[in-house]
């Protein structure tokens, strides 16, 4: 399959690929959908239809669950090491197709290919290949007094994933789930589903036993809700909006199945008064604008000492002047288009709201970037003198918009950082590492980076408050798909 090259510019798909996109992946085969209804996928640069996938139904979910349940006994009978071995092969398969993945996601989503090679192609491969090492860190069996405590797979997992990291978010669920001994029914986002087909091709090629991983495309209200409420699914892992996460939790509660949810964020990046302001601001903009700002853990609130505002604003304005917005296939592009027209309009609406509520516009604005009238582009934007009551300081924008909030004391900085319904990520900058770590301990989030430290794909990822519960990645990600049994001896 090579969906990034085709004689038909309006689809971006070859005939053979288009035929495969007409099916779901169920029981190790490409199974025709129960209905002819389709969901169009729009190229974020050209605004043209680049393909379509089936609009799955509850009947398709039933078939996928049946296949997953049939595969479960033999799959969980394998050792964790054997199951992790399949993940390693999948990871290598993704590595072999990294350029294809980055190219496809640049069309579906708008991620620049240079960035996409790292985060859209590189991270999913790590998600899978890390399993063979992580299985050795878990106490699969342990003795406590007269009890033998064993960890067992939860069963059939329903995985519902978002559009912003279309393969990584799938891999972060599938890899630990199948390593734990579970089988999976996946619903990828209907906005960026094509790359999920590429992953299923890799899974098919490595010979993963039929039914261990199944995929049904479709919308949240139909396929997502059928998965969440299905009596044959033992656990649901969801990543997406807080609103949708609440709905999934409500449906799953009818059968008392466990649910993990990774939801939104409005993360604070705090620059303390002894920090290197230039380095902190430049890095902070990068951490806010990663993947065009379409990242739940993006550091979208920059907290700075009030007296440092002029310096911070000058550095931010200069940094934005150097950012190249444009065609994501250009290696020099740093920010591509938003994922959809709706997302573009949403982001521009927040920029207008910031201006309306009195925030100081440092750079950017709601206007269309010059020369980019076609495509879902927005201007990277920085606001200053933002107060914690403003909409842009409280709501998740999911675009390249940074809010700079001044504080007058370190105690107030802690208050502002924690004054959010979310609690996913955060950052702290200081020339004194111990001081930064002490501050980080006071932030109510699932993770905090110090002085721009790199994302660790083996550390637990997840949040508090409306950012959700449960953890992905590392050995903690595997544990969420396991249940405990005590055998008294």
Residues for the chain: how many in total?
A: 489
Per-residue model confidence as pLDDT tens digits over 226-239: 999 999 999 999 99
Q: What is the mean pLDDT of residues 261-275?
A: 97
Can you tell me the distance from the alpha carbon of 419 to that of 424, in angstroms, rounded to the nearest whole number? 13
> Strand, helix or coil at 374?
coil
Strand order in the sheet with 268-271: 360-363, 381-384, 401-407, 301-305, 268-271, 426-429, 449-450
Per-residue pLDDT at 14 exceeds 80: no
Under DSSP, the state recorded for 164 is S
What is the predicted pLDDT for the residue at 7?
27
What is the predicted pLDDT for the residue at 17?
55
- pLDDT category at 20 given cuts 50, 70, 90 is low
Can you tell me the distance from the alpha carbon of 153 to that of 182, in angstroms, rounded to the nearest whole number? 5
Per-residue pLDDT at 199 exceeds 50: yes
Q: What is the mean pLDDT of residues 294-310?
A: 98
Per-residue model confidence as pLDDT tens digits over 80-129: 999 999 999 999 999 999 999 999 999 999 999 999 999 999 999 999 99
Can you tell me the distance from the alpha carbon of 178 to that of 165, in angstroms, rounded to the nearest whole number? 20
Percent of the chain at pLDDT > 70 equals 96
- pLDDT category at 6 given cuts 50, 70, 90 is very low
Q: What is the mean pLDDT of residues 19-31?
A: 89
What is the predicted pLDDT for the residue at 34?
87
- Residues 6 or more apart whose Cβ sits within 8 Å of residue 396: 264, 265, 266, 296, 300, 422
Residue spans in the chain of domains classed CATH 3.40.309.10: 268-457
Per-residue pLDDT at 2 exceeds 90: no
Nearest to 368 by CA among 340, 343, 395, 345: 345
Can you tell me the distance from the alpha carbon of 163 to that of 53, in angstroms, rounded to the nearest whole number? 15
Residue spans in the chain of domains classed CATH 3.40.605.10: 15-263+468-488
What is the predicted pLDDT for the residue at 9?
34
What is the predicted pLDDT for the residue at 22?
83
Per-residue pLDDT at 5 exceeds 50: no
Nearest to 159 by CA among 489, 484, 485, 480: 480
Q: Among the CATH numbers 3.40.190.10, 2.60.120.370, 3.40.50.970, 3.40.605.10, which is that of 15-263+468-488?
A: 3.40.605.10
Indicate the burial class of 489 (C-beta count within 10 angstroms; 0-12, 13-18, 19 or more): exposed
User: Of the listed 296, 313, 449, 472, which one is catalytic?
Assistant: 296
What is the predicted pLDDT for the residue at 375?
97
Per-residue model confidence as pLDDT tens digits over 247-264: 999 999 999 999 999 999
* Residue 296 appears among annotated catalytic residues: yes
Percent of the chain at pLDDT > 90 equals 95
User: Of the listed 115, 190, 225, 262, which one is catalytic?
Assistant: 262
Contact 140, 482 (CB under 8 A): no
> Strand, helix or coil at 78?
coil
Paired with 147 in beta bridges are 144, 488
Rg (CA), the chain: 23
349 CB neighbour count, 10 Å cutoff:
14
User: Mean pLDDT for the chain?
Assistant: 95
What is the predicted pLDDT for the residue at 19?
65
Per-residue pLDDT at 78 exceeds 80: yes
Q: Is the dihedral of CA 42, 45, 48, 52 positive or negative?
A: negative
**Token couple for 249:** 């939790």
- Residues 6 or more apart whose Cβ sits within 8 Å of residue 245: 238, 261, 263, 468
Contact 249, 259 (CB under 8 A): yes
Class of domain 268-457: alpha beta
* Residue 370 appears among annotated catalytic residues: no
Nearest to 366 by CA among 384, 357, 354: 354
Under DSSP, the state recorded for 214 is E
Give the per-residue SS3 of 441-454: CCCCCCCCEECCCC
Q: What is the mean pLDDT of residues 198-217?
A: 97
Per-residue model confidence as pLDDT tens digits over 126-160: 999 999 999 999 999 999 999 999 999 999 999 99
Per-residue pLDDT at 183 exceeds 90: yes
Per-residue model confidence as pLDDT tens digits over 365-374: 999 999 999 9
Strands 401-407 and 301-305, by their bridges, are parallel
Contact 403, 383 (CB under 8 A): yes
Per-residue model confidence as pLDDT tens digits over 364-421: 999 999 999 999 999 999 999 999 999 999 999 999 999 999 999 999 999 999 999 9
Can you tell me the distance from the alpha carbon of 429 to that of 452, in angstroms, rounded to the nearest whole number? 8
What is the predicted pLDDT for the residue at 21?
81
- Residues 6 or more apart whose Cβ sits within 8 Å of residue 360: 313, 383, 384, 385, 386
Per-residue pLDDT at 480 exceeds 60: yes
């Amino acid at each position: 399959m090579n969906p990034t090259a085709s004689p038909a510019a309006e689809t971006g798909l070859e005939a053979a690929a288009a035929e495969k996109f007409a099916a779901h992946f169920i029981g190790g085969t490409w199974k025709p959908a129960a209905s002819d209804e389709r969901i169009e996928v729009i190229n974020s640069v050209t605004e043209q239809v680049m393909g379509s996938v089936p609009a799955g139904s509850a009947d398709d979910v039933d078939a996928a669950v049946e296949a997953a349940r049939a595969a479960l006994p033999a799959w969980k009978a394998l050792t964790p090491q054997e199951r992790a071995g399949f993940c390693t092969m999948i990871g290598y398969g993704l590595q072999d197709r990294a350029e294809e993945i980055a190219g496809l996601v640049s069309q579906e989503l708008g991620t620049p290919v240079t960035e996409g090679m790292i985060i859209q192609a590189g991270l999913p491969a790590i998600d899978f290949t890390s399993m063979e090492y992580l299985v050795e860190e878990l106490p699969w069996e342990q003795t406590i007094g007269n009890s033998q405590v064993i960890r067992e797979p939860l069963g059939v997992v329903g995985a519902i994933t978002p559009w912003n990291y279309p393969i990584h978010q799938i891999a972060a669920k599938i890899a630990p789930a199948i390593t734990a001994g579970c089988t999976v029914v996946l619903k990828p986002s209907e906005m960026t589903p094509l790359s999920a087909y590429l992953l299923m091709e890799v899974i098919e090629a490595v010979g993963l036993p039929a039914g261990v991983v199944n995929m049904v495309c479709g919308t949240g209200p139909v396929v997502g809700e059928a998965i969440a409420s299905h009596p044959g699914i033992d656990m649901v892992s969801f990543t997406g909006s807080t609103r949708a996460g609440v709905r999934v939790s409500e449906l799953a509660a009818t059968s008392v199945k466990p649910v993990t949810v990774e939801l939104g964020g409005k993360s604070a990046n705090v620059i303390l008064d002894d920090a290197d302001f230039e380095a902190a601001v430049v890095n902070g903009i990068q951490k806010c604008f990663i993947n065009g700002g379409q990242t739940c853990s993006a550091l979208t609130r920059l907290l700075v000492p009030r007296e440092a505002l002029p310096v911070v604003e000058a550095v931010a304005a200069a940094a934005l002047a150097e950012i190249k917005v444009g065609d994501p296939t250009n290696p020099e592009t740093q920010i591509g288009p938003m994922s959809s027209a709706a997302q573009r309009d949403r982001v521009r609406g927040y920029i207008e709201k910031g201006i309306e509520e009195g925030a100081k516009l440092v750079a950017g604005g709601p206007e269309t970037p010059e020369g980019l009238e076609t495509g879902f582009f927005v201007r990277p934007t920085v606001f200053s003198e933002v107060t914690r009551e403003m909409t842009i300081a409280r709501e998740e924008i999911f675009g390249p918009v940074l809010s700079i909030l001044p504080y007058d004391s370190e105690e107030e900085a802690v208050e502002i950082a924690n004054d959010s319904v979310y609690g996913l990520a955060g950052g702290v900058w200081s020339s004194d590492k111990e001081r930064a770590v002490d501050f980080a301990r006071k932030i109510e989030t699932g993770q905090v980076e110090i002085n721009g430290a790199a994302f660790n794909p083996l550390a637990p990822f997840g949040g508090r408050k409306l950012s959700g519960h449960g953890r992905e990645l590392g050995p903690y990600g595997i544990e969420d798909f396991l249940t405990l049994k005590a055998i008294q001896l």
